[in-house]
Chains A and B, each alone.
Chain A
Amino acid sequence: MASSSSSGLTFKLHPLVIVNISDHYTRVKSQLSLPPSLTSTSSAATSNNNNNNSNGGENNQNPPPRVYGCVIGVQRGRTVEIFNSFELIYDPSTRSLDRSFLEKKQELYKKVFPHFYVLGWYSTGSDAQESDMHFHKALMDINESPLYVLLNPAINPAQKDLPVTIYESELHVIDGVPQLIFVRSSYLIETVEAERISVDHVAHLKPSGGSAATQLAAQLTGIHSAIKMLNSRIRVLHQYLVGMQKGDIPCESSVLRQVSSLLRRLPAIESEKFQDDFLMEYNDTLLITYLAMFTNCSSTMNELVDKFNTTYDRHSRRGGRTAFI
């Protein structure tokens, strides 16, 4: 398997797909393994599960099941964006793909998301295998160049990077025979604002509601962690460059070029128009704050007046209102 893709397509993956695949896998796995409370051997199984935590809680009897499914999304020009996915029925031993099921599901999804096309398929496992090529070829009549998204469900606490890889297929001539092999591609994580908020919500279990102070804290914490991340990445780059300067690390001009182009992109925007628009937005927000303050003040005033009236009217019941206001 070659290690770099040359097709030039940019891939964008939505977090929904990742959670989808993970859910599919967890579901199938828990259906296969015995639930902890039902059988007598369960206590042994669960204690073993706890010990084998590093294996991702594998059942002692069978290896973790592989699940298969289809990914759908949109391809615009050179950008391929994967939005969603659904399950498929595939039997690896007989290599039979349930065609009618696939078509049925495709139809259903077309009704709700008319813009999405089948872009490829997904599976779980630790590495792409030869047998996967059969599935890949089976999908080729729907999409000439399908993608293969592989998720590695093994939970490894030392892992720093997402265990998701995207493979494309390329026709290479090996030993005089043209063969399709998998090549890895890089991808970006793309999201819409709503998706980001819900992922944030589920990942960090942010508090909903509560006083203004807590909301402010939540908002600032989010930004703070993002900036911390940015900072650490920049530090790594800095150390790398310093090392290069000292001569500890061999000079690599491509990296240097990228860093220099990155630096030249700062400041991000500096035009007059931007400053104008930015200040306008700033002023708008200040105006809203001012209005809100006004409303608050008038409400408090109103309450004060009401209280005044109630207090002082008690003494002068007769003769109607002689009190204030």
Chain B
Amino acid sequence: MDSAIAQKTWELENNILTVETPDPSSDSIFYYDVAAQAKFQQEKPWANDPHYFKRVKISALALLKMVVHARSGGTIEVMGLMQGKTDGDAIIVMDAFALPVEGTETRVNAQADAYEYMVDYSQTNKQAGRLENVVGWYHSHPGYGCWLSGIDVSTQMLNQQFQEPFLAVVIDPTRTVSAGKVEIGAFRTYPEGYKPPDDPISEYQTIPLNKIEDFGVHCKQYYALDITYFKSSLDCHLLDLLWNKYWVNTLSSSPLLGNGDYVAGQISDLAEKLEQAENQLAHSRIGPLGPPRKKEESQLAKITRDSAKITLEQVHGLMSQVIKDILFNSVRQSSRSQNDQSGPEPMIET
């Protein structure tokens, strides 16, 4: 009874909308209505409202493909295209495919190289029965968060001029693995010179020092869209059954081992930020600060948040290691006396 109440509270806290198990009749999202799509394309309702598209629905398949591709690139940025359709103010991403270009600083030019590949691929897809068009592109930012850099913004603005409707998605595979949840963001840029009427509050994310300037300069030129995921009834069924074989992988995963470099990088970045903050605080000690600015947190507060986040991830990783140790290594120890503590002893008394 208690657990039921706890679960309900948790769900409420997190605005979890219970997705009813999709039954076959709701698989209609997979149907591609050529006529309706063509009509929508002609009407162009987005031409008048820069904020027209508000939501993104990503299929399970597209998400899986994008995350796997992003991770396979390691620390190199990779990119690809997404296929799908539109539905009112939502863009639906049904599938994604990788492009054979390596991410460099001159990625704008690389797009031209990828066109041939894209045309070939789209052609073969249409032959094989996938009728959707390209609705966006995705790329990865390994280790430095989901946002659009200066080059990304200009690429996307170009795309939104000529290839509407188009969406930009950014995935961070390193943070995904480190945090244990998918780091993904979907964006659309505002047209040149357009000022958004209100300042949407975006979710805070930590950005490494060497990129923070790039982020700050351009962060007002685009907005983020809400992302939801969907899957077919068959997918649902298969994923449920997959758990029967999958639980082994959950237990055997060791997030700490794979991400050592990333964590070390984050900590050194934090150290640099601390130094900067120290300078800033030293200068502002002269005289009281003006009316307290409630919106912007001081640098130190941001650093605290970042350090808390990194610590959390580390602790989670260590927790699973300790659990595994207790499960699989403590066999012989049950025969010893109860007072004999053989596991690692915590150094802090709580």
Contact = CB atoms under 8 A, between A and B. Distances in A.
Given A193-B255, A194-B70, A211-B13, 4 more contacts: A50-B25, A202-B235, A205-B16, A289-B315
A199 interface: yes
A222 interface: yes
B251 A192 contact: no
Interface string B250-266: 11010110100000000
Contacts of B267: 288
A310 B289 contact: yes
Nearest to B173: A194
In order of increasing CB-CB distance, the 6 nearest A-B pairs are: A57-B24, A194-B71, A87-B128, A111-B100, A229-B247, A268-B328
B212 interface: no
Contacts of B245: 162, 188-189
Interface residues of B, number: 112
Given A18-B242, A278-B344, A288 B233 contact: no
B251 A201 contact: no
A26 B27 contact: yes
Q: Is the interface of A mostly helix, strand, loop or mixed?
A: helix
Contact of B312 (A50, A212, A269): A212
B181 A16 contact: no
B203 A209 contact: yes
B301 interface: yes
Contacts of B314: 284-285, 288-289
Interface stretch (B29-37, B49-57, B158-166, B217-225): B29-37
Nearest to A296: B304
The residue among A26, A206, A208, A291 with the most chain B CB atoms within 10 A of its own CB is A26
10 contacts: A30-B30, A53-B23, A189-B242, A194-B67, A194-B71, A219-B180, A223-B323, A230-B327, A267-B331, A313-B288
Contacts of A219: 180, 316, 319-320
A19 B320 contact: no
B237 A155 contact: yes
A305 to B, nearest CB: 9
Contacts of B315: 285, 289
A19 B235 contact: yes
Nearest to A309: B288
A108 B121 contact: yes
B247 A281 contact: no
Interface of B: 10, 13-14, 16, 19, 23-25, 27-28, 30-33, 59-61, 63-65, 67-68, 70-71, 94-95, 97-100, 117, 120-121, 124-125, 127-131, 173, 176-177, 180-182, 203, 229, 231-235, 237-251, 253, 255-256, 258, 267, 274, 281, 285-289, 292, 298, 300-301, 303-304, 307-308, 310-312, 314-323, 325, 327-332, 344, 346-348
A225 interface: yes
A255 interface: no
A230 B247 contact: yes
Contacts of B319: 219-220, 223
Contacts, number: 302
A209 B97 CA distance: 27
A292 interface: yes
B322 to A, nearest CB: 8
Contacts of B241: 159-163
B250 A226 contact: yes
A309 to B, nearest CB: 6
Contacts of A289: 311, 314-315
A25 interface: yes
A197 B255 CA distance: 11
A198 B166 CA distance: 24
A191 interface: yes
A188 B252 CA distance: 14
Nearest to B120: A108
B61 A19 contact: yes
The residue among B258, B298, B304, B347 with the most chain A CB atoms within 10 A of its own CB is B304
